[in-house]
Structure 1
Amino acid sequence: MYNHFTMKALFVGGTGTISTAITRKLADRGWELWLLNRGNRHSILPAGVNEITCDINNEEEAAEKIKALSFDVVADFIIMTPQQAERDYRLFKGKTKQYIFISSASAYQKPPSSYRITEGTPHSNPFWEYSRNKIACEEFFYHKYREEGFPITVVLPSHTYDERSVPLGIHGKNGSWQTLKRMLEGKQVIVHGDGTSLWTTTHSSDFAEAFIGLMGNAHALGEMVQITSDEVLTWNQIYGTVASILGVPLKPVHISSEFLHAAGPYDFQGGLIGDKANCAVFDNAKLKSLVPGFTAIIRFDQGARKTIEYMLSHKECQKEDPEFDAWCDRIIDVREKALAELKR
């Protein structure tokens, strides 16, 4: 195990939902941390973080800017395609002792053959191209690990959230605020399915603790590790908790995921049918063996309260989405008319 106080890490990205919490914790703990990104969120960076302003998709420029640098750990938080994985392999081969690829728990088998998910669960998602691309990236990196010893660790997050957005099942292009606004206005809100499927949310602060425990961890090389909370809730409980924090009654309307996708114009095949409509209960035994003492400590009601308080006090988090709002009204109206017709 490396000395965490002298380790040197590079994050590609570093200012997103997952990575911001890790960046803050590493800065507090004295790591030498470098971020390579386009510099769009410079204002949120803690003191002492080194910046490399560059679009990594410009491989030639990125190679030039890191040519004199080497690292104990490199983690890329923004890889979406196998082509980008190949680019990172070219950029960081021989320049890091550990490379962490952030995949996605949505890569796991859909529909699942068992509700309880481990790292041994097959990776196959015919519903979502995003997930299939993540699987292709995993396969590329493991090929390089087996053939050349490329020091890969694959991390699989599930539904991770921070102070800027509440994790909900159904939302439009501007995130969860419009659903919260509907609740505050006393409107009905759509909950997919019957709301009883099991789901796991993880606060970014908990994720960061586990992730840091894997950084520089020799036992994590070549391994695939999922990082989630152990708390499991139904979607009815999730929506009910959010409404309770807002101090309003929940008025849920349950509609099947297949109907929501078929109704258009939103594409819910991937993120809903290929992900959130399925049960997701994670066994984190492997993570806890690699990071002794780790446990996620932020319950959903605690994390959601902090998030909602932050959103209510920060106008930039209140991104209205009138198109999604009108769509919800229309879907609910169609359902009510269909029920009325059936009762005739």
Structure 2
Amino acid sequence: MKALFIGGTGTISSAITKQLVEQGCELYLLNRGNRNAALPTGVNLIQADINDEAHVAELIENLAFDVVADFIAFEPAQLERDYRLFKDKTKQFMFISSASAYQTPLSDYRITEGTPLSNPYWQYSRNKIACEDYLMKQYREHGFPITIVRPSHTYDERSIPLGVHGGRGSWQVARRMLANKPVIIHGDGTSLWTMTHNSDFAKGFIGLMGNIHAIGESVHITSDESVTWNQIYEIIADALGVKLNAVHVSSEFLAACSKVDYRGGLLGDKANSVVFDNAKLKRLVPEFVATTRLDQGIKQTVAYILAHPEHQTEDKEFDAWCDKVIQALDAAARSITE
């Protein structure tokens, strides 16, 4: 198989890149080269900015692919560019959408690919929906061979997956745990969530590549494991070897008092219970099974981050904000009970 990835070094795509190279795929990555140092041997690099359409067109003029996948498209205009570049150069075009595009709030917590797409809380999700609409139009009217993939919360060894963190990543929450400081959990922590290790996501994605039954289809790829946010934070604390000191805070309150977009990330996504039905993926890729249990994956991630200080990015602004939120709640409680 000959494939081209636009991107290829992110949380989701890096695991796919690794597994494809191990399987002998002729893989090309088109990116700006900022994160290519850790790529496995055997990857063919096309260094360019995908937004420079004319330059990219020159670079791929004599190339054609079995699969082209765009991991970094977020708006319809970017897919319009991809269509112009690749409409005659690939047998399958794969777009990475988002499970946050599904109906929010849900009318049924069990999500299938037939669940409506609607998210009034998050522009990011609405943009992904618009991208899907554009691609389906090209498939219906021009036969453009598209496959839409919807990941949910996918993680790797470089970042601890969380619900509430600052703009500089999740390490500061781990620091708070290690210092026995209170850690904010949105809502009451009992809503169900699904996290998927990127190595498991890669297995499903690769199974869709070159799969004639996936053309014209939308498919989500997630683990079958459902956990509550309380369990998630307990798993992280356990991996760090500390006792969790949790404070539960309304998602609406967090969205109202933060500069970070918690309205989209919480109210439009993580505040809602979600359970994914992966039956469609398993019909298309019968061998797919997610094998990394969350507690196992989190232990691997925590161990990696503790051993690699470059991934321990402090966020003093977020740390101070957490203290303010908790102090405000304590003060409000005292004012009512006094």
Question: TM above 0.5, one fold?
Answer: yes
Does 2:111 correspond to 1:117?
yes
Q: Secondary structure at the match of 1:42?
A: coil
Deviation at 1:293, TM superposition (A): 1.9
Q: Which residue of 1 aligns with 2:164?
A: 170
Does 2:208 correspond to 1:214?
yes
Q: Which residue of 2 aligns with 1:236?
A: 230
**Residue among 307, 310, 319 paired with 2:313:** 319
Q: Secondary structure at the match of 1:154?
A: strand
Deviation at 1:263, TM superposition (A): 1.1
Structure 2 contact 191–229 (Cα < 8 Å) conserved: yes
Does 2:56 correspond to 1:62?
yes
Any unmatched runs of 5+ in structure 1? 1-6
Cα deviation digits, residues 34-85 of structure 1 (max 9, x gap): 0000001121110010000000001111111111100000000000100001
Deviation at 1:316, TM superposition (A): 1.1
Equivalent position amino acid for 1:57 in 2:
N
Q: Secondary structure at the match of 1:266?
A: coil
Does 2:87 correspond to 1:96?
no
Query: Could you tell me the TM-score, scaled by structure 1's length?
Result: 0.98
Following superposition, which runs of at least 4 residues in structure 1 exceed 4 angstroms of deviation?
none
Does 2:176 correspond to 1:182?
yes
Equivalent position amino acid for 1:73 in 2:
V
Deviation at 1:265, TM superposition (A): 2.2
Deviation at 1:342, TM superposition (A): 1.4
Distance (Å, rounded) in 1 between the aligned partners of 2:193 and 2:126: 21
Distance (Å, rounded) in 2 between the aligned partners of 1:271 and 1:24: 29
Distance (Å, rounded) in 1 between the aligned partners of 2:315 and 2:52: 34
Equivalent position amino acid for 2:125 in 1:
S
Distance (Å, rounded) in 2 between the aligned partners of 1:10 and 1:248: 44
Q: Which residue of 1 aligns with 2:39?
A: 45
Distance (Å, rounded) in 2 between the aligned partners of 1:264 and 1:234: 23
Query: Could you tell me the TM-score, scaled by structure 2's length?
Result: 0.99
Equivalent position amino acid for 2:58 in 1:
E
Distance (Å, rounded) in 1 between the aligned partners of 2:216 and 2:22: 28
Deviation at 1:269, TM superposition (A): 0.7
Q: Which residue of 1 aligns with 2:198?
A: 204
Q: Which residue of 1 aligns with 2:101?
A: 107
Cα deviation digits, residues 188-215 of structure 1 (max 9, x gap): 0000000000000000000001100000
Q: How many residue pairs get matched?
A: 338
Distance (Å, rounded) in 2 between the aligned partners of 1:176 and 1:337: 27
State the identity %: 65
Distance (Å, rounded) in 1 between the aligned partners of 2:173 and 2:319: 8
Distance (Å, rounded) in 2 between the aligned partners of 1:90 and 1:127: 31
Deviation at 1:266, TM superposition (A): 2.3
Does 2:240 correspond to 1:246?
yes
Equivalent position amino acid for 1:12 in 2:
I
Structure 2 contact 167–260 (Cα < 8 Å) conserved: no
Any unmatched runs of 5+ in structure 2? none
